[in-house]
């Protein structure tokens, strides 16, 4: 077989397309897809040859097969999240309970009454599906579900404060990450941010001085992902709501994560619940559906009915409405909250956050033996570690956990080797995502529940 080792010997797209095995691919996948893949294989080949490599026709055809396989593989795939961050935004945040998955599949398959009133036979309200449960669980009068909490905040500000002023403490002008910055959101919502107090201290007098005839509402933002310590002061919710109401203004809290249950009763750190926020006098509270709540990506606005109705009437709301699959999942998740005893077993987010460190450590010992057989050159130890909640919820509090620490003590500079090792785990059938810290690759096992699947998946390391 002729060796292809110079740019001149690279076959044309046509020649490659007309080989019998590539023609077979064309009959299966169509000429457009196969031509694209042939072109991209040839571009790659040129680079490889210039880098001194060589190939032959059979290997080239094989590359076309592989390229097509790669293109047809779904690009969003399940992974093992062993990063130690339970609600990892880049890894899709909350894992959903089985009941929510069933509900999603159920409505995804065919028509549903997402916006149809079965009683009257007329058009219905999609926001009603989750509203009753949200109200029951939070004590709110009314609620509205949108695509995410960023949308909830944008919408609330746009509908209630456009062309007006919104005083916010300087200590709460947060950036959540992924370009969600409070001052930018305010600008996009069409309102004027009035900065109040200083970074570390804001008091009641600051707020009173900031209120004018142009003020639309007072807003408090949960400082989700950081903590200011030392000489600090902020105005409690109750005081802010009193100041707002004395001026006939609504008081809004962006809770960020927004939990529906008292986390302390599950031995987790304290976090203000949505119902606490409403009890302290908030007229509206906004929060995420896929952070501590443990549901699908969504944002919830809960509180006073007249304000919710005003927001509902806005065309912006139409642009941020959730789909039937999300609503079905959210409703199923909210249902679990009606039985707080079963909640910690059935809601994956809470189950993972409250997982017994001893159980995680036992799992680590079992897996270290299995993994050692695949990674003869590595030193694998079981280490105590601390997981994070993630997604800006409870940023400082860490949960005791156990991890596999995988190191190559024989290599003095092991950075590249570690990156290669991490990469080989990422190329498994189900990619395994850990984190590199210091001179080792770490797998925090808090979020690994499918031990059998994980072990089977490791087979891929042989290749």
Ligand X SMILES: *Cc1c(COP(=O)(O)O)cnc(C)c1O
81 binds ligand X (CB under 6 A): no
In this chain, which stretch among 48-56, 94-102, 147-155, 438-446 interacts with ligand X, using CB under 6 A?
147-155
385 binds ligand X (CB under 6 A): no
Three-class SS of the chain? CCEECCHHHCCCHHHHHCCHHHHHHHHHHCHHHHHHHHHHHHHHHHHHHHCCCCEEHHHHHHHHHHHHHHHHCCCCCCCEECCCECCCHHHCCCCCCHHHHHHHHHHHCCCCCCCECCCCCCECCCCHHHHHHHHHHHCCCEEEEECCHHHHHHHHHHHHHCCCEEEEEHHHCCEEECCEEHHHHHHHCCCEEEEECCCCECCHHHHHHHCCCCECCEEEECCCCCCCCCCCECCCHHHHHHHHHHCCCCEEEEEECCECCCHHHHCCCCCCEHHHHHHCCCCEEEEECCCCCCCCCCEEEEECHHHHHHHHCCHHHHHCCCCHHHHHHHHHHHHHCCCHHHHHHHCHHHHHHCCCHHHHHHHHHHHHHHHHHHCCCCEEEEEEEEEEEECCEEEEEEEEEEEEEEECCCCCCCHHHHHHHHHHHHCCCCCEECEEECCEEEEECCCCCCHHHHHHHHHHHHC
Give me the least distance between CB of 180 and ligand X, in Å please.
5
From the list 281, 299, 303, 348, which residue makes contact with ligand X (rule: CB under 6 A)? 299
In this chain, which stretch among 14-22, 105-113, 148-156, 402-410 interacts with ligand X, using CB under 6 A?
148-156
In this chain, which stretch among 25-33, 144-152, 305-313, 447-455 interacts with ligand X, using CB under 6 A?
144-152
In this chain, which stretch among 68-76, 97-105, 251-259, 349-357 interacts with ligand X, using CB under 6 A?
251-259
Give me the least distance between CB of 258 and ligand X, in Å please.
9
From the list 95, 148, 169, 326, which residue makes contact with ligand X (rule: CB under 6 A)? 148
From the list 67, 131, 237, 254, which residue makes contact with ligand X (rule: CB under 6 A)? 254
Give me the least distance between CB of 446 and ligand X, in Å please.
21
149 binds ligand X (CB under 6 A): yes
What does the per-residue mask of binding to ligand X show for 391-430, with x meaning CB under 6 A? xx--------------------------------------
Give me the least distance between CB of 125 and ligand X, in Å please.
22
Question: Are 140 and 302 in contact, with CB atoms under 8 Å apart?
Answer: yes
300 binds ligand X (CB under 6 A): no
In this chain, which stretch among 71-79, 142-150, 156-164, 241-249 interacts with ligand X, using CB under 6 A?
142-150
Question: Are 224 and 175 in contact, with CB atoms under 8 Å apart?
Answer: no
In this chain, which stretch among 218-226, 342-350, 357-365, 445-453 interacts with ligand X, using CB under 6 A?
218-226
Contacting ligand X within 174-203 (CB under 6 A): 176, 180
326 binds ligand X (CB under 6 A): no
Contacting ligand X within 10-29 (CB under 6 A): none
In this chain, which stretch among 113-121, 250-258, 311-319, 339-347 interacts with ligand X, using CB under 6 A?
250-258
> How many residues of this chain bind ligand X (CB under 6 A)?
16
288 binds ligand X (CB under 6 A): yes
CA 397/CA 352 separation, integer angstroms? 15
Question: Are 177 and 87 in contact, with CB atoms under 8 Å apart?
Answer: no
Give me the least distance between CB of 87 and ligand X, in Å please.
10
From the list 167, 197, 250, 256, which residue makes contact with ligand X (rule: CB under 6 A)? 256
224 binds ligand X (CB under 6 A): yes
Binding footprint of ligand X on the chain (CB under 6 A): 148-150, 153, 176, 180, 221-222, 224, 254, 256-257, 288, 299, 391-392
């Amino acid at each position: 077989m002729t060796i292809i080792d110079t740019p001149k010997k690279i076959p044309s797209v046509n020649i490659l397309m007309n080989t019998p095995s590539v023609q077979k691919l064309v009959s299966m996948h169509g000429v457009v897809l196969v031509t694209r893949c042939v072109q991209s294989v040839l571009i790659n080949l040129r680079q490889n040859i210039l880098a001194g490599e060589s190939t032959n026709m059979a290997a080239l055809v094989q590359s076309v097969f592989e390229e097509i396989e790669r293109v047809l593989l779904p690009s969003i795939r399940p992974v093992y999240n062993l990063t130690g961050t339970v609600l990892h935004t880049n890894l899709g945040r909350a894992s959903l309970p089985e009941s929510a998955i069933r509900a999603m599949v159920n409505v995804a398959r065919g028509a549903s009454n997402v916006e149809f009133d079965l009683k009257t036979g007329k058009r219905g309200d999609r926001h009603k599906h989750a509203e009753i449960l949200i109200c029951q669980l939070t004590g709110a009068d009314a609620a509205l579900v949108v695509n995410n909490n960023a949308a909830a905040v944008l919408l609330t500000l746009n509908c209630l404060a456009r062309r007006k002023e919104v005083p916010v403490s300087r200590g709460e002008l947060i950036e959540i990450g992924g370009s969600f910055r409070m001052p930018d959101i305010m600008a996009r919502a069409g309102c004027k941010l009035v900065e109040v107090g200083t970074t570390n201290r804001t008091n009641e007098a600051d707020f009173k001085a900031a209120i004018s005839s142009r003020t639309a509402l007072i807003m408090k933002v949960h400082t989700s992902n950081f903590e200011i310590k030392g000489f600090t002061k902020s105005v409690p919710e109750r005081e802010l709501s009193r100041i707002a109401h004395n001026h006939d203004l609504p008081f809004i809290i962006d809770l960020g994560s927004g939990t529906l249950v008292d986390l302390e009763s599950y031995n987790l750190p304290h976090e203000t619940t949505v119902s606490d926020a409403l009890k302290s006098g908030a007229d509206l509270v906004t929060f995420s559906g896929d952070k501590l709540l443990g549901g699908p990506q969504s944002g919830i606005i809960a509180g006073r009915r007249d304000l919710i109705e005003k927001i509902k009437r806005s065309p912006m709301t139409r642009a941020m409405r959730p789909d039937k699959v999300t609503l079905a999942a959210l409703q199923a998740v909210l249902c679990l909250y009606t039985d707080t005893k079963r909640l910690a077993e059935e809601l994956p987010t809470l189950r993972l956050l409250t997982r017994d460190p001893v159980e995680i450590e036992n799992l680590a010992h079992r897996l270290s033996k299995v993994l050692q057989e695949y990674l003869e050159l590595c030193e694998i130890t079981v280490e105590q570690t601390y997981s994070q909640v993630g997604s800006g919820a409870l940023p400082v509090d860490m949960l005791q956990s156990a991890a596999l620490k995988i190191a190559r003590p024989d290599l003095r500079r092991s950075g590249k080797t570690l990156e290669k090792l991490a990469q080989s785990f990422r190329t498994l059938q189900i990619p395994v995502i850990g984190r590199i810290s210091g001179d080792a690759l770490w797998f925090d096992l808090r979020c690994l529940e499918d031990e059998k699947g994980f072990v089977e998946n490791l087979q891929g390391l042989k290749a």
